[in-house]
Structures are given as C-alpha cells and as structure tokens.
Amino acid sequence: MNKQTHSFQAEVKQILHLVTHSLYSNKEIFLRELISNASDACDKLRFEALDNGALFENDPNLDVRVIFDAASKTLTVRDNGIGMSADEAIQHLGTIAKSGTREFVARLEGEQKKDANLIGQFGVGFYSGFIVADRITVETRRAGLSAGQGVRWSSEGTGDFEIEAIDRPQRGTDVILHLREGEEDFLKTWKLKSIVSKYSDHISLPILMKKEQWDSDKKEQVVSDEWETVNKAAALWARAKNDITDAEYKEFYKQLSYDSETPLAYTHNRVEGRSEYTQLLYIPAKAPFDLWNRDKRGGVKLYVKRVFIMDDAEALMPVYLRFVKGVIDSADLPLNVSRELLQESRDVKAIREGSTKRVLSMLEDVAENDKDKYLKFWSQFGAVLKEGIGEDHANRERLAKLYRFASTHADEGVSFADYVSRMKEGQEAIYVITADSLSAAKSSPQLEIFRKKGLEVLLLVDRVDEWMLSHLYEFDGHALQSVAKGAVDLGKLQDEAEKKQAEATAESLKPLLEKLKSTLKDRIKDVRVSTRLVDSPACIVVEEGDMSTHLSRLLKQAGQEAPASRPILEINPDHSLVKRIQADEAVFEDLANILFDQAWLTEGGQLDNPAQYVQRVNRLLAPAST
C-alpha cells in the first residue's frame, strides 16, 4: 500500500482543535490514556487467543513499554497486544464511532474546557497525545497478519492523517509522540515513573522502562539496556485488603471510571460458597453524562481468573444500579463466556444477587452514618434507584427504606421511616401527591385540608414516581394514598361533626352539582362537594382506580397514548366564586367553565382552547371595567 492521505472525521477535527488549544490543566493525563489503551490491546489479544492460540506468535508474555529518546525528543508507548490492520487504523484513529461525541465537545467548550480528565471519560483518549505532541506516529501490526502487513499512521493533529504499509516483524503497536517545545520533562525517567505510579500502578500487566544507572565516569545517570517493571503489575482486587490503602482504592477508581472525583463509597470482598468470585465495587459521587442514554451499556468489568473478558457486563448488575463502577473477577465462569451465556448462567445469577446486596448494604451504611453524603448521592442517583422497586422484588423492602422525598415538612431527605415516625395518632395512611415540580406540588389545592389538620404529605416530583407508585403500595403496614385520587377519607382524623356537615352540604347543593355536571358533561365524569379544599374554589381529582392526570400527561409527552378518562371536579361550597355561580344565572356557563379551566391549569394541565378561556374571563371582567 502506497502512502495515502485521509481527512479526519468532522467530530475528530473538533476534538483535535480542543485538545491542542484547551486541555492544558493536567497534561500528564495523556500517558495514563495511552497506557490504558495499550493494556486494553493486550487484554483483547488474550481474549481472542482463547479461540486461536496462534495469535500469540510464540510471544505469550504481554507487557507495555515506555521508551524515550531525548536526542530525537520522542516518547513511545509500546505494547505487544492485538495491534491493528490498515482498515482498523483508519477506523479507530480517524473516526469516532462512539455516541456522545457532541456532548463531549459541548462540555469541553463549556466550563470544563480545561479538564483533561474528560477525554478518557468519552473514549477518545488517544487524541490526548496531542496535548504534548505536535506529531504522532503509530506503527502497528495486527496479530495473525504477516510482517509485510504492518501499518504506519501519522498526523500533526490538524485536518489530515497519512497511512502507509511497512514491514513490522513484531505484532502490537508503537505510539510515538514527537514532543512540542517545552515538554522536555516527559523525557526524564523520574517524571515518567511518577506518572505511571500515580495513574497506572494498578494495571495488571507489567509496565516496563529501561533502568537508569549511575555512571561514575560521566558523573550522571545513564539509561541501560536492562528493563525494569515500574508498576505493581498486580490486579488491585486480587491483593489483600489490608495491603491496599484508601488512596490506592480511590486512584484505581479514577483509572477505572475516568472520573476526576473520588467515589462516594466502595466495597472490596472475596465471596466463597456456591459461587467463588471477588468484587470491587464503587458508587460514584456524581452521575455520568450518559446516565439516561438508552444506548449506553451499564455494568461492571468482568474478569475470569484475572483474565479480562468484557466491559459493561450488564448481567452482573441490575439496570437500576447501572451507575455502579467496578470489577468482578469470577473463579467459576468459563473463559469463553459470552453475553448470551451470561444471561443463562446460574453462577452469574448468584454473582448478581450477591453484588446487588453488597451495593445496597453500602448505601444503607452511608444513609445511616452520613446523612449529608447520602443526600448528595440521592440528588444524583435517586431517580434511578426508584426504578428498582419494580425490577427487584427480592429487595423491595430494602429499597423502600433507602428512598428519600420532599414533603410538606421538609424540602428534601424525608424517608418513609421519618414520615411514619411523625404520623398523627389515628392516621393510618401515608399521604402522597405527584407533580411536575416541587413548587407545583407545594401549591396544589389538594393539600389544603392536610395543611389545616397538620398532616404531612410526601411530594413526589420525579418522572419515575408515578411508575414507582404502581409497584409500591405500602410501607411498614401503612398504605400509600394519593391525595389526588378518590374522596378524602381521613378516617379517625375527621370527627363526626365534620362528616355530618359535609353530608348535609352535599345534599343541599344537589341542584347546583347536577347543573354543573350538565354544563360540563363533555369535560368531566362527575361534580361533587369537596372535603379537601379550604381556600381554593375547585380542584381536579380522579377515581381511585383511574390513571392520575399527572401520569396521563407524562405518557403524552413521551408520545404514548393514555387511556381515555374524564376527571372529577370538586368544588368548595364556602368559596365566593362558587356562591356567585349559585346567585348569577346570567354568567353560570362562563363561570362553570372558568372554574374547571382554572382547576385544570392548577393541576398542571393544558387547555384545549386557551382563546375560549380568555374570552370567558374577558366577558366577566368587562362589566367591572366600564
């Protein structure tokens, strides 16, 4: 193949521009990225060689080497891993197939433009080499191809790259950085060793550098031909817990997750019994940018007997814990396990159950011992954790205890247990309301009688809350009751005098209720006197078994059809607007519709005919303004 020139994909050009002009806060991150890529290449070779041992080419000892040449100002990261063919070099180094590239660019162009950690988080770590290099040359050959099928790729990080065929006897890849002026520190052994120790100490492959020795004749350190391992070269999770410091655990997390922040919590355990495995699991402090991306695989890294098998093994962790990072190393699974086999394996089921319980135990510990830290976790991942109530029946009670809400008592951090501890004598149900926002929930007229009687109501404002309520019916023997469904039944909290007065009022207003029902017949299911309103003239409710108006709106916003149903209009007989309807026949129809429209708007709904509503209000206002 003769030398060819190709243009970078448009997104790559954007990233290269940002890398060379913006990512300068932590330049040394580039070495972590290149070593990580080299380690991945070795893991891929090891995995492919399970089915084709010839790929090792009589060189089964995998390693990563860091080499510098002060005279030519080059720094090379070399691996003897899987390597690349010409087509793979063009694909992997000239284009980005990963989703989320635009989000990456947007973040770099925003407040975090100086944060080099982002480059690894978005899977484009190779380009970090241009932070310190004005030209990168890659020489590579894929395992299994002949020596004459080597490839040289080179670019100055502008708009184009060149590619040509070369003879390369050894498999694997050399990434050669031609360093910019002023980057000579990266040509010093002590500097490179310190970076490896800081970021890549836990890479399970040996990272080798040529040993420096003191030359008594030259009176200086000189590089010898002897190689030495400069990292611990042992899987962190395979070491004894007592031998690992807190700082090492946290640094491994950063390497694993490309997160610049320390984890909220972690757990490291060796499990023996029906299934034998080691787990090192982390709970991040902040949600990743793609937490809600449906195409993003969740899950932890799977190893079998310290051999890397796959990233994002979803079968090892339930979907609602997709934010958990970490490693699971099984002693029982076969080395050639596939994603399909993972779904069917009894050993995997045991690992999944054990890991789920371990994560929930971590969260319970944080919730009990550090409430502020748990609230930070909940603000990031609470909505995701709520998905578990319908997915994980075995842990339903544990999950419910971990849930936190706003309420009429506090704006955040209220657990079901907190609520139950504050229930009034005679109160049997846990009262809840769903809404689009905290402010909308707080101002709902459906809360008025509960405020008057000092009854706490949980304010559920996450989109997932309606779904959660369809799976969670009670807590500690107390039913969850929506204040926007059915008639208000306060049970022992409502005295007999109140009940009799409400019945008498409803009887006396029967003619008005019938007339309102007739006028609004196409819009409502029924009209009744409210026992929940104190200050507002009317509110919208639904029957106990019907879909809430809030859930109906959410379904429509998602492009789904909601079951056809009409709400119930409840009126406050003591409100002046309701009294005016009774007294002023001339404006009855306008007032009746305005009453319903206002209640509907207060509920968060949208009017089918806003212009008609405005006309009705104007007709009522016009006499007052003349």
Contact 139, 151 (CB under 8 A): yes
CATH class, domain 4-229, is alpha beta
Looking only at Cα atoms, what is the longest distance across the chain? 113
Of 409, 430, 466, 448, nearest to 602 by C-alpha is 448
- Identify the CATH number of the domain defined by range 401-492: 3.40.50.11260
| CB-count burial class (<10 Å; 0-12, 13-18, 19+) for 557 | exposed
Residues 453, 531: Cα–Cα separation, whole Å: 12
Give me 420's structure tokens: 């139950």
Q: Which helix (H) or strand (E) holds 533?
A: none
Q: What is the pLDDT of residue 123?
A: 52
Q: What is the pLDDT of residue 102?
A: 52
Q: What are the structural domain ranges in the chain? A: 4-229, 236-371, 401-492, 493-625
Q: What is the pLDDT of residue 85?
A: 95
Residues 133, 156: Cα–Cα separation, whole Å: 8
Q: What is the pLDDT of residue 563?
A: 72
φ, ψ of residue 387 in degrees (nearest 5):
-65, -25
Of 427, 448, 423, 422, nearest to 492 by C-alpha is 427
Q: Which helix (H) or strand (E) holds 475?
A: strand 474-475
Q: What is the pLDDT of residue 89?
A: 92
For domain 236-371, give the fold: Ribosomal Protein S5; domain 2 (3.30.230)
Contact 162, 7 (CB under 8 A): no
Q: What is the pLDDT of residue 507?
A: 87
Q: What is the pLDDT of residue 161?
A: 92
User: Which stretches in the chain have pLDDT values below 50?
Assistant: 97-101, 111-122, 626
CA pseudo-torsion sign 48, 49, 54, 57 = positive
Looking at domain 493-625, which CATH architecture does it have?
Answer: Up-down Bundle (1.20)
φ, ψ of residue 45 in degrees (nearest 5):
-65, -45
Residues 481, 467: Cα–Cα separation, whole Å: 14
Q: What is the pLDDT of residue 112?
A: 47
Contact 439, 475 (CB under 8 A): no
In sequence order, the β-bridge partners of residue 328 are: 279, 302
- pTM of this prediction exceeds 0.95: no
Q: What is the DSSP pairing of strand 458-460 with strand 430-434?
A: parallel
Q: How far is CA 555 from the centre of its chain?
A: 22
Q: What is the pLDDT of residue 412?
A: 92
Q: What is the DSSP pairing of strand 265-271 with strand 277-283?
A: antiparallel
Q: What is the pLDDT of residue 99?
A: 40
Residues 14, 289: Cα–Cα separation, whole Å: 19
Q: What is the pLDDT of residue 260?
A: 81
Q: What is the pLDDT of residue 342?
A: 76
Q: What is the pLDDT of residue 280?
A: 96
Residue 312, helix vs strand vs coil: strand
